Amino acid sequence: ALPLRLRNVRKVYRSGKKGVEAVKSMDLDIEPGELITLLGPSGCGKTTTLRMVAGLETITSGDVFIGTTRVNDLPPSKRNVGVGFESYALYPPLNVRENLAYGLKAGKRVADPDKTVDELADRLEMHDLLDLRPASLSSGQKQRVALARALIRKPPVLLLDEPLGHLDASARQHVRRELKLLQRQFGYTTIVVTHDQLEAMTLSDRMAVMDAGIIQQFGTPDEIFDDPANLFVADFVGEPSINLFTATVVRDGGRTMIRVGNDVLETAAQNAPDGAEVTVGIRPQDCTMKNVTRGLSGSIFVYEDLMEHGIARVNHPAVPDKPLVVQTPAELQLETGQSVTFSAPPKRVYLFDKD
Ligand code: ADP
Ligand code: MG
């Protein structure tokens, strides 16, 4: 496996006189054999980044290194990458088996291509597709074949753009697990592009959360979940979404509190001046109602029992029109209208600048 490095990489698309800066000065260091995801909303520059690494798009400025080789000026076929893009063409006259074997042979001589194809087809549960032609495949089936084609040559670097997007829920779970196992087994250095934060959380060694052509944070799923770098990351990652509301900072000796209506809550955040208006973020998963003496008090608006846990939506008098979401243990049963008080550990009460 090879390391992958991006240094100051930019992409400006020219359309007429105007330019669109799709990727702005991106730095990224990926370890050999590491799987990272690029996660972000539609249009943030994920596909553009991947295409520049693959050699399918010119790099406006900056450098891409695969291993120790600067690959900016190398064609895709010389970059040691396997690519799986949505638009990646299969040859229509060939059936799936022939398509996969063709991808294999284009690389190097293989003793028994059929055996290699069969093994991979087993892993991805796609034996029933091998005799079919591309035209008769559903979009989900095409996606599996495209993934298999990217994997079959065991490339040192694997680049996948939304590889699971067209699969139904159960197929997605299976293929996601196999992808991760194959990646571990063969040690491909891998970039997976996705807009699905759950997929990113389950697949990634580290994830790069992107917005507007910029990496907002790069870290392990735990680091990103537990210590979001800014409001965008806090809001984009996590399901159910983080609670965000306005509050006032109260410095009390060495401690920092936030006040919302009549309630106060301690935060471990530093650097917030007394009296400042801030946006507070608290994750539903970090809230507790157990043994709470001081916290946020409100009344239950809706309670959902989801078996493994509950989700309570709590109306707070100082947070208008937006119930606060609290994840509760399964054994708790709550009624609409019931009064509750909840809090979160100070380290999990995040403060962000109000914009
Ligand atoms: P993502 O994959 O995150 O959805 P893209 O990399 O496809 O984002 O696009 C990033 C930005 O670049 C968007 O504003 C998009 O409209 C623009 N863009 C993408 N491809 C082109 C192109 N070929 N020409 C001009 N603008 C483009
Ligand atoms: Mg895209």
* Protein residue with least CA distance to atom 13, ligand 1: 43
Q: What mean pLDDT is reported for the chain?
A: 94
- Asked whether the beta carbons of 326 and 289 are under 8 A apart, the reply is yes
- Per-residue pLDDT band for 106 (boundaries 50, 70, 90) equals low
170 has pLDDT over 70:
yes
Q: What local confidence, expressed as pLDDT, does residue 107 receive?
A: 56
pLDDT, tens digit, 9 for 90 and up, residues 181-205: 999 999 999 999 999 999 999 999 9
Give the pLDDT mean for 148-163: 92
Atom of ligand 1 nearest to the CA of 48: 6
ipTM, two decimals, is: 0.99
- Asked whether the beta carbons of 302 and 279 are under 8 A apart, the reply is no
Q: Which of 10, 12, 20 to mutate to test the pocket of ligand 1 (most atoms within 8 A of CB)?
A: 20
* Residue 192 Cα to ligand 2 middle (Å): 11
Q: What local confidence, expressed as pLDDT, does residue 355 receive?
A: 73
* Residue 126 Cα to ligand 2 middle (Å): 25
Atom of ligand 1 nearest to the CA of 13: 25
102 has pLDDT over 90:
no
Which residues line the pocket of ligand 1, CB cutoff 6 A? 13, 15, 20, 22, 40, 42-48
* Residue 122 Cα to ligand 2 middle (Å): 29
Single pTM value for the model: 0.93
* Residue 353 Cα to ligand 1 middle (Å): 29
Tokens of 98: 């022939």
Task: Give the whole-angstrom CA distance, residue 36 versus residue 1.
Answer: 14
pLDDT, tens digit, 9 for 90 and up, residues 303-343: 999 999 999 999 999 999 899 999 999 999 999 999 999 99
Which ligand minimizes its atom distance to the CA of 58? 1
Q: What local confidence, expressed as pLDDT, does residue 139 receive?
A: 87
- The phi and psi torsions of 8 (rounded to 5 degrees) equal 55, 40
The residues near 106 (Cβ < 8 Å, ≥ 6 apart) are 153
pLDDT, tens digit, 9 for 90 and up, residues 36-47: 999 999 999 999
Give SS3 for 270.
Answer: coil
Q: What local confidence, expressed as pLDDT, does residue 15 receive?
A: 83
Q: What local confidence, expressed as pLDDT, does residue 227 receive?
A: 95
256 has pLDDT over 70:
yes
Residue 249's CB: how many other CB atoms inside 10 A? 20
As a whole-number percent, the residues of the chain with pLDDT over 70 amount to 98
* Residue 165 Cα to ligand 2 middle (Å): 11
* Residue 60 Cα to ligand 2 middle (Å): 18
As a whole-number percent, the residues of the chain with pLDDT over 90 amount to 80
Tokens of 285: 């998963």
273 has pLDDT over 80:
yes
81 has pLDDT over 60:
yes
Task: Give the whole-angstrom CA distance, residue 146 versus residue 142.
Answer: 6
Atom of ligand 1 nearest to the CA of 38: 3
pLDDT, tens digit, 9 for 90 and up, residues 216-253: 999 999 999 999 999 999 999 999 999 999 999 999 88
Task: Give the whole-angstrom CA distance, residue 44 versus residue 41.
Answer: 6
